[in-house]
């Protein structure tokens, strides 16, 4: 049950329900790009708060 809830939240937050990918690799690429963008944003925010 927790796994389904977590998966649902991630799908909604990363807007992957309507990803537009035509293949599994397209979806994988989109997911990796979104994760990288969120990581970069968090890193930049941490740097701004520390400096």
CA distances from 23 to 29, 32, 35, 46, 48 (A): 10, 14, 19, 35, 38
**Structural domain boundaries in the chain:** 2-50
| Lookup result for tokens 């790009």 | 33
Identify the band that residue 36 occupies on the pLDDT scale cut at 50, 70 and 90: very high
Identify the band that residue 40 occupies on the pLDDT scale cut at 50, 70 and 90: very high
pTM check: above 0.85:
no
- In tens, the pLDDT along 1-24 reads 787 887 788 777 777 766 677 888
The two three-digit tokens of residue 26, written as one number: 């397209």
């Amino acid at each position: 049950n927790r796994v389904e809830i977590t998966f649902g939240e991630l799908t909604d937050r990363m807007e992957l329900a309507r990803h537009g990918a035509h293949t599994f690799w397209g979806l994988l690429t989109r997911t990796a790009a979104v994760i990288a963008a969120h990581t970069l944003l968090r890193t930049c925010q941490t740097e701004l708060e520390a400096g």
